[in-house]
Amino acid sequence: MPQAIVMPKLGNTVESAIILTWHVGVGDPVETGETLCEIETDKATVEVESSASGILLARFFEAGDEVPVMQNIAIVGREGESFDLLSPVSAAPAEHVTPGESYDHSDGKPDEEVFISPRARNLAARKGIDYNEIEGTGPDGRIIERDIRALIDQGVKMSPVAKAMLESGEYQIADERAVDKRITKSDLTPSSPAASPELKAIPLTGVRRTIAKRMLESLQTTAQLTLNASADATSLQDFRARLKSSDDALGLRGVTINDLLLFAVARTLPAFPELNALYVNDRILKHSRVHLGLAVDTPRGLLVPVIRGADALSLRALSYEAKRLADACRSGDIMPDELAGGSFTVTNLGGLGIESFTPILNPPQVGILGIGSINLKPVERDGAVAHVAHIGLSLTVNHQVVDGAPAARFLAQLCKNIASIDLLLAL
């Protein structure tokens, strides 16, 4: 029996993944557990292992293809075995309904036919909408007027060919194009940048594409307000120095300034539940625990793993977990579920010399704290000007549900806690 290898479902929210590289060619022998290919979801890169031993009889997709989860991607079996029925194209042979047989209306729609109401068809024709690729929301999946209206509301109307050409990055929409007309192949010209040898077009895939989408969504769907402050970093620096010189057996030498700040945030947030919250469907969901998102810069782009129950972790445990997650992100071993479920996020550009910036929310979270660099700040002390080390803090909140004053109160308390981080550790 030939065995089908399926695209694994990597977490509850993952619907498809992109094949990055194949490690085995058709005709090659494979063993159970051997890596067949690497795939990338919007959150992680994963290796797909063979679930059988034998010869790789077929690969149904090429590197770069996006494949729905649970779809057959390859076949392992003995030389010469037939696997036609396992091919994703023929997996569901069309049932032929003959007169006299019982007729099940819901299954009567052949895959390739598109059912659409006359009204929806006319509207689509008038507006130059292509409806061949959409799922209807009418009875039995019929495309009805509201489906076409939804497409119109989404904006530009274009033919599937034109859409694919635009997505390749090698074409752009010609300037002299009739407004209000559907964009077709004839409306596209080769992109002038692509025509230039100096520029290289790189299509967005995987993480980059997700970032692109989510960042734009974040700014389009929330009302972001950023507050800047700085906290006295004297204790922070002193305490960090003591940790660094502590007994190696204590396992505290690797604790960083950033870990201390994560600790301060995790211990301050419980008193401000309106910031440790999600805003979903006109409802505020306040978290009883702090699941702290941690922005990690990786070669593939920004990833945000989540430290679960951060408010209950000791400084050392917190530090270990942050390091483990960051390493997993950088190596690509992070699991998709570890990238989800945060209640608040911390992002740190201080190490790169940035004093302050405007962090972008990670919806549906309502708060994100940006950490800047440590700089000397002139302060009045005993009637004279003294220069004291201060660390920059930039808090962005969703003003839809969090007003400026409570956000400021949180930030002020955080500054206080950072300034006396040693006392906070004693609590």
Total residues contacting another protein (rule CB under 8 A)?
16
| The only residue of 88, 128, 138, 270 in contact with another protein, by rule CB under 8 A | 138
Of 64 and 139, which CB lies nearer to another protein in the complex structure? 139
* 90-98, 138-146, 299-307, 378-386 -> range binding another protein (CB under 8 A): 138-146
Q: How far is the CB of 362 from another protein (least distance, A)?
A: 28
Is 280 a binding residue for another protein by CB under 8 A? The answer is no
Per DSSP, the chain holds a count of helices (H) and strands (E) of 10, 20
Catalytic one of 23, 65, 337, 399 = 399
Q: How far is the CB of 123 from another protein (least distance, A)?
A: 9
| The only residue of 82, 87, 90, 137 in contact with another protein, by rule CB under 8 A | 137
Let me know: does 152 contact 129? Beta carbons within 8 Å.
yes
Mark whether 403 is an active-site residue.
Answer: yes
Q: Longest Cα pair distance anywhere in the chain, in angstroms?
A: 100
Of 123 and 261, which CB lies nearer to another protein in the complex structure? 123
Of 46 and 120, which CB lies nearer to another protein in the complex structure? 120
* 141-149, 205-213, 363-371, 413-421 -> range binding another protein (CB under 8 A): 141-149
Pairing of strands 367-381, 384-398: antiparallel
Is 88 a binding residue for another protein by CB under 8 A? The answer is no
Which tokens belong to 112?
């390739």
Q: How far is the CB of 148 from another protein (least distance, A)?
A: 10
Contact set for another protein, span 96-135 (CB under 8 A): 103-106, 117-120, 122
Of 119 and 253, which CB lies nearer to another protein in the complex structure? 119
Say which residue the tokens 């120095």 belong to. Answer: 241
Catalytic one of 28, 327, 403, 422 = 403
| Interatomic CA distance for residues 424 and 427, integer angstroms | 5
Q: Would you give the binding string for another protein spanning residues 319-358, x where CB under 8 A is met? A: ----------------------------------------
| Interatomic CA distance for residues 311 and 153, integer angstroms | 43
Provide long-range contacts, Cβ within 8 A and 24+ apart, for 216-219. 217/363, 218/360, 218/361, 218/362, 218/363, 219/360
Is 145 a binding residue for another protein by CB under 8 A? The answer is yes
Q: Which residues contact 418 (CB under 8 A, 6 or more apart)?
A: 231, 232, 233, 235, 236, 260, 261, 264, 391, 393
Is 139 a binding residue for another protein by CB under 8 A? The answer is yes
What element of type H or E holds 425?
Answer: helix 421-426
Q: Would you give the binding string for another protein spanning residues 41-80, x where CB under 8 A is met? A: ----------------------------------------
Say which residue the tokens 């967005």 belong to. Answer: 204
| Interatomic CA distance for residues 169 and 231, integer angstroms | 46
Q: How far is the CB of 259 from another protein (least distance, A)?
A: 45
Is 151 a binding residue for another protein by CB under 8 A? The answer is no
Task: Kindly provide the b/e burial profile for residues 95-111, where b requires at least 16 CB atoms within 10 angstroms of the residue's own CB.
Answer: eeeeeeeeeeeeeeeee
Of 148 and 419, which CB lies nearer to another protein in the complex structure? 148
Q: How far is the CB of 106 from another protein (least distance, A)?
A: 8
Q: How far is the CB of 116 from another protein (least distance, A)?
A: 10
What element of type H or E holds 171?
Answer: strand 171-173
| The only residue of 58, 75, 76, 144 in contact with another protein, by rule CB under 8 A | 144
| Interatomic CA distance for residues 248 and 271, integer angstroms | 34
Of 104 and 153, which CB lies nearer to another protein in the complex structure? 104
Bridge partners (DSSP) of residue 4 are: 75
Of 96 and 105, which CB lies nearer to another protein in the complex structure? 105
Pairing of strands 344-348, 292-294: parallel
Q: Which residues contact 340 (CB under 8 A, 6 or more apart)?
A: 11, 13, 43, 306
Mark whether 399 is an active-site residue.
Answer: yes
Of 390, 391, 408, 412, residue with least CA distance to 399 = 408
Of 98 and 288, which CB lies nearer to another protein in the complex structure? 98
Catalytic residues, by residue number, are 399, 403
**Which residues are at the interface with another protein (CB under 8 A)?**
103-106, 117-120, 122, 137-139, 142, 144-146
